[in-house]
Amino acid sequence: MQLSPDNFFSFKLDDFQLQAIEHLEEGKSVVVSSPTGSGKTVIAEYAVEMALAANKRCFYTTPLKALSNQKLYDFRQKFGDDKVGLLTGDVSINRDAAVVVMTTEVFRNMLYGTALGDIDRNLRNVSFVILDECHYMNDAQRGTVWEESIIYAPKDIQLVALSATIANAQELTQWIDETHGPTELVTSSFRPVPLRFYYFGARHLYPLLTPGHGMNKSLKDTFGRSKKTFRGNRRSIIASMSPRPGDILATMASRNMLPAIYFLFSRRGCEEAMTKARGIPLLNHEEEAELKIQVEHFVGDNPNLKNHPHLPYLFEGMSVHHAGMLPSWKAMVEKLFQKGLLKVVFATETLAAGINMPARTTVISSISKRDDEGHRQLTASEFLQMSGRAGRRGMDEVGHVVVVNHPFEPVEDAGKLAQAPSDPLSSRFTPSYGMILNLLQRHTIEEAQELIEKSFGQFMVSQELEPLYLQTLNIERELDRLAKPLCPGELGDLPLYKKRLEAVHSKEKQLKLIQRGLPKENKDAGGVALAEVKTQIREMLDLANGMPCHGCPVQKPCSKQTERIEHLRARHKQIEKRIHWQSGRYWRTFEALANILRIEGYIQGDTPTTLGLMAATIRGTNELFLTEVALSGVLETLRPPELAGVITALVTEDDRVSNTIRAATSPQVEIALGQILKTAKHVLRLQKEFEIEVPVSFSPVFSGLCQMWAEGSNWDEIRNASPFDEGDIVRALRRTLDLCRQFIRAPGMPEPLVAACQKAEALIARDEVREDF
């Protein structure tokens, strides 16, 4: 049977889905930009089916491990366990399957080869690569991975880039088309489940937008207060004047608007809101009974949840979801919500990042948040990402978005955000030590430069410089036009003529100064000097007057032309300098990092040394720093639990230790941390010399906890020894585990360190820290 959408899907496809499938069947790559929940996954599934029908393979990449695990489950249900695999840096399940799910970082690393195996083996028979959540290119820390993946992907592979709505989808498509191969853009603004926007204040729910999608003007009369109206502490004003979560939930429950995701922008805010909302009847008797059964079953499999302080709230149909929660708790919350047994989840915006937890309603508690730069308003894309969680296809006729009244946020701003178009993607492309070492293993320096200059960042710079390129072309055309001289007779040299006249004027000034300096009573003094200067002036005048320009009838227009030419040449030089500086930004960074690597012995000429091959397999914020620490010998003197504690410091960028009492570490760990600080200062000095800023940060904030865990402490002991959220501790321990495994796999790593890392790995990878797939 010939493959077609009609015999593969049991439902009618939307026009944009059919359009994307047509491009795939033509052998082209596609960029699909459409709202969350619009059905982009259908296009990905068809690409998988195309690969299977042709006896080829397909890779499906996601930005998060949780999404990869979820997609593994979904695809196994659809295509069968034997046809689907999972590949991470640590776990390989059926890696040679026809369909392999992985994070985008894993795919990028596969393109480098390194510890994940030979590139040819990695990509054997792969015809499609699906880049889900491609708008993650905007992520400040990880966005570069998507660009690298697209740049390095073999051109015979079709790419399927799935993105939420973005403003510059055409530019992204053009870049992929130029960098990778024929690529078409498919866009859709259609939402199968339309959204309605509301504003909650004064214990009532108001339409935020009118039927014509304009701002509801009456809201300004009701809620349009000035910030100057309020006096006192900002936090207390917000607490006293903001609507109560219980009132919001009660109103939504009465209007059949549950289940809901209630977005807040701090962990503390999530937990406070849940506490204040308790007591609202959300579940019926059947749901209460089923919820109890499900929770008991889940807690039985995860004993650390048995005494979780949030269990009473869970049994009322509500919970909290944020990065500080235990992974097992978050997994339980997600499954219960998907089953409809939780009616509201108070979550930070990380929940909007792609986890499959659609709701009937999303509540946005504030349209501003605090980040590293201070307090700022949400971007249009952030607002859209949270709004997009509302409305479940096939379950809801309409999705609801509720913006909560805030005493310091004008209601007009909420209306503008609800109508604002999405933000454009920006480039986060960043050359790194690891990138350089991996590229130079397989490419000449010239080829590496060509690859670097294929980045989306470079493409965007070229777009921005387009007006300057046009200016240079216009200047060159005018210079060509002005090149024809105006001289009626013998060709003159007006600049030289002017220069000689200026020299004459200068000599005349010199003559006057000499004359003024002579004593009045002796006018004849200095006669020889005066005569000599006057002779020079006559000779210089004769030389100038003998030029064709002297007495020329077109000297004035010629002078203007000459001045114009000089101005244009200066402007052209200035623009060329600016273009060179801006267009060479990424390559200058590459060269500076390469020079540091040469100084440290990781590159000889343009070829990675044995040290370089080792460092190329390391993944981290600063691969040079991590490798230098590994080779310093300081880690080899530690017992495995102590080694684990020190490695935790290498993967932690948390400065809370200065304000928090941390769990104690052994004296050997403290000595090792002191030695590592010296290594960090050395790398920082080198980077400063080359004007490079690659973070060299480490923190022992979780070191004591990791040492305790590696020495056999149970989770209750870890929980009681720390003021930190459990999710943060698990994340630190898992990162420790990951770096241990990287050191184990790195070629040429000292054997004593490899052996110690293997022992540390065995001690750490248990209970909550072990990842189940």
Give the pLDDT mean for 171-200.
94
CA atoms within 13 A on the CB side of 240: 8
What is the CA 490 to chain-centroid distance, rounded?
A: 65
pLDDT band of 90, cuts 50, 70, 90? low
Cα gap 548→496, rounded to integer Å: 11
Q: Residue 297: is its pLDDT beyond 90?
A: yes
DSSP characters for 393-430?
TTT-SSEEEEEEPBTTB-HHHHHHHHHPPPPPP-----
- Looking at the DSSP bridge assignments, the partners of residue 261 are 345, 362
3-state secondary structure 657-702: HHHCCCCCCCHHHHHHHHHHHHHHHHHHHHHHHCCCCCCCCCCCCC
22 by Cβ neighbours in 10 Å (0-12 / 13-18 / 19+) ranks as middle
User: How many alpha carbons fall within 13 Å on the CB side of residue 670?
Assistant: 6
Over residues 588-643, the pLDDT tens digits come to 999 999 999 999 999 999 999 999 999 999 999 999 999 999 999 999 999 999 99
- Identify which of 746, 558, 619 has the alpha carbon closest to the alpha carbon of residue 145: 619
- Confidence at 298, pLDDT banded by 50, 70, 90: very high
The per-residue pLDDT for 228 is: 45
Interatomic CA distance for residues 236 and 240, integer angstroms: 6
Angle between helices 555-583 and 585-599 (to 10 degrees): 50
* Token representation of residue 104: 């985008």
Alpha-carbon distance 220 to 198, whole Å?
Answer: 14
- If residue 533 lies in a helix (H) or strand (E), which one and from where to where? helix 527-545
How sure is the predictor about 408, in pLDDT bands with cuts at 50, 70 and 90?
confident
Contacts of 122 (CB under 8 A, 6+ apart): 110, 111, 113, 116
pLDDT at 229 over 80: no
* Across 652-668, average pLDDT: 72
Do 357 and 258 touch, CB atoms closer than 8 A? Answer: no
Mean pLDDT taken over the chain: 87
Q: How far apart are CA 208 and CA 419, in angstroms?
A: 10
Which one has a higher pLDDT value, 294 or 357? 294
Letter string b/e over residues 725-749, b meaning 16 or more CB atoms within 10 A of that residue's CB = ebbbbbbbbbbbbbbbbbbbbbeeb
| pLDDT at residue 516, as a whole number | 73
**Best CA proximity match to 753, nearest among 650, 599, 602, 654:** 650
Q: Which helix (H) or strand (E) is 252 found in, with range?
A: helix 245-254
Put residue 564 in one of left, alpha, beta given phi > 0 → left and psi -120 to 50 → alpha: alpha
Res 182: pLDDT: 97
Kindly report whether the peptide bond that precedes residue 194 is cis, defined as omega within 30 degrees of 0.
no
Tokens of 68: 């990869």
> Model confidence over 303-344: pLDDT tens digits?
989 889 999 999 999 999 998 999 899 989 999 999 999 999
The predicted model gives 726-745 an average pLDDT of: 94
What average pLDDT score do residues 190-218 get? 88
Do 589 and 692 touch, CB atoms closer than 8 A? yes
Q: What is the mean pLDDT of residues 267-283?
A: 93
Confidence of residue 658 (pLDDT cuts 50, 70, 90): very low
User: Is the pLDDT at 657 greater than 50, yes or no?
Assistant: no
Question: What is the dihedral sign for C-alpha 440, 443, 446, 452?
Answer: negative
Q: String of b and e for 404-421 (b: at least 16 CB within 10 Å)?
A: bbbbebbbeebbebbeee
Amino acid type, 67: L
Residue 67 Cα distances to 76, 128, 363, 410, angstroms: 14, 19, 23, 36
**Tokens coding 406:** 């805030």
Strand intervals (E) in 18-164: 29-33, 57-62, 84-87, 92-93, 99-103, 126-131, 158-163
pLDDT of residue 69: 84
Distance, CA of 175 to CA of 460 (rounded, Å):
9
Structure tokens at 254: 């009465």
Number of C-beta neighbours around residue 598 at 10 A:
15
Let me know how long the chain is: 773
**Surface-to-core class of residue 324, CB atoms within 10 Å of its CB (0-12 exposed, 13-18 middle, 19+ buried):** buried
Query: What is the number of other CB atoms lying within 10 angstroms of the CB of residue 239?
Result: 13
Cα distances from 517 to residues 61, 511, 534, in angstroms, run 86, 10, 16
pTM reported for the whole predicted model: 0.83
* Helices and strands (DSSP H and E) totals, the chain: 32, 19
**Buried b / exposed e across 509-531, counting CB within 10 Å, b at 16+?**
eebeeeeeeeeeeeeeeeeeeee
Per the CB < 8 A criterion, the answer to whether 764 and 710 are in contact is yes
